[in-house]
Structure 1
Amino acid sequence: MSMSETVHTSVIHPVPYHAQWASPELVPAIIGREIAAAEDPLWPAYGADSAEAYEWWSWRLCGIACLRMALDHWRDKTGAPAVPSAMALAEECLKAGAYVKRDDGGLDGLIYAPFAVYVRDRWGLRAEALPNLPATSLPGHLAAGRLVILSVHPSIRTLDADPQRKGGHLVLAVGISPEHVVIHNPSGFPDTSQQFHEVPWEDLDRFYAGRGVVLGPPQSSDRG
């Protein structure tokens, strides 16, 4: 039985959007290597110490962009007066073990289990790291008012017919309908796949690695 036959509701949460880069409109040019990320004029808003540091981190913080969206959505429940910068959150996640800098200069992460602990302890939100998170479970989570960070291939932004693999990039599921899962994609393209991008259920499996992190508000009952 297809998802369109089993999902009988439509829910879209009004989650604010945050891109992986400081200037959402420049994402196509940055990803296409037409400009370097360091040329983004809004890089100081990222909280980085330099344009070069921004360049290095911005390619790696899709998970932080998802967290910023969730924190913005539940800001009244976390008590934060404003959503922290991407670098402020990345530095906290480094200390929490959700990112690990390698000796070769690379970065491991987002590491789900310590990330979920960090989100619970630091922000008071519900967070559960799920290495086995089937697509069939997403409607229940989203209908209950939760948001879900999903591991997908980055070419989901164009619904590539033949992605190289599954996973490797994080997006935030913010809604469902019988026909689609609705995502905010930190590296999506303006006006097409950044905000409230409708991904048909039958296409999701090409990109989705079947794992992620479920986020919810810090109350006994979730709200949308």
Structure 2
Amino acid sequence: MMDVAQPIIHQVPYYSQWESPQLVPDILDGTLRAADDPFWERSGAPSEEEYEYWSWRVCGMACLRMALDYWWGVAPATVRLAEECLEAGAYVRHPDGRLDGLIHGPFAAYAGRRWGLHAEARSPLPPGEIADHLAAGRLPILSVHPAIRTLDPQPPRRGGHLVLAVGATEHELLIHNPSGFPDRSQAAARVPWADLPRFYADRGIVLGPPA
């Protein structure tokens, strides 16, 4: 239970980290390769292979895209945002294909410089402060385990995936999950506050409009 005086819900547009949100279950279970997403070109990737590479790694870009659409009415292509973040040092791509990131500090600096947002990397970011930021009109990006999409009772660890907090009630946090399941855990997915600590790594990036 959280001390939330009134339910909060920000009407933030939803974007998946894949261009076809309805295909997420098939992509995640291996039934369909991400490269076979029929709308891959919308991502701004130069090829299906490059889309395949980035689509598994751009949860943070999907969160940024949602915030930009909410405040500025623009939704830049996901892979193009990733390429800008690569140049800004928020990702480090190694010759063997490994990718470090999203690195919160450089990303926050990029979001402020490039898009004029208030952006602050926070570690720790306690759950109680998430509701406070939402009440103040800000949108926290949270580091959670991807198993939050099913509220897995025993996730193997915390963190490793980014979601956007868009609302809160006394009993639940509402998130836009870039790798959530359609009609279940994508837009405004409800996560009980009591369940959040299993997934949440107590860190994130708080986004807001300029002061």
TM-score by length of 2: 0.98
How far is 1:105 from its partner?
Answer: 1.6
**Equivalent residue letter for 1:41:** P
Q: Deviations over 1:17-61 (max 9, x none)?
A: 000100000000000111100110000001111111100110000
- 1:47 alignment partner in structure 2: 44
How far is 1:9 from its partner?
Answer: 1.9
Q: Deviations over 1:108-132 (max 9, x none)?
A: 0000000000000000000000121
TM-score by length of 1: 0.92
How far is 1:107 from its partner?
Answer: 0.4
- 2:34 alignment partner in structure 1: 37
Q: Deviations over 1:129-181 (max 9, x none)?
A: 01210101111100000000000000000000000000000000000000100
Q: Please state whether the residue corresponding to 1:74 is helix, strand or coil.
A: helix
Match 2:164 to one of 152, 172, 177: 172
Match 2:154 to one of 146, 150, 162: 162
After TM superposition, the structure 1 = structure 2 runs for residues 117-196 of structure 1, keeping only pairs within 5 Å, are: 117-196=109-188
How far is 1:7 from its partner?
Answer: 2.3
**Equivalent residue letter for 1:8:** A
Unaligned runs of 5+ in 1: 77-81
- 1:11 alignment partner in structure 2: 8
- 1:79 alignment partner in structure 2: none
How far is 1:72 from its partner?
Answer: 0.4
Cα distance in 1 for residues equivalent to 2:133 and 2:168: 10
Cα distance in 2 for residues equivalent to 1:83 and 1:55: 20
Q: Please state whether the residue corresponding to 1:118 is helix, strand or coil.
A: helix
| 2:85 paired with 1:88 | no
- 1:101 alignment partner in structure 2: 93
**Equivalent residue letter for 2:49:** E
**Equivalent residue letter for 1:45:** R
**Equivalent residue letter for 1:114:** P
After TM superposition, what 4+ stretches of structure 1 lie above 6 angstroms from structure 2? none
Match 1:74 to one of 71, 75, 84: 71
Cα distance in 2 for residues equivalent to 1:158 and 1:48: 29
Cα distance in 2 for residues equivalent to 1:139 and 1:43: 35
Cα distance in 2 for residues equivalent to 1:71 and 1:178: 27
**Equivalent residue letter for 2:205:** V
Unaligned runs of 5+ in 2: none
**Equivalent residue letter for 2:86:** L
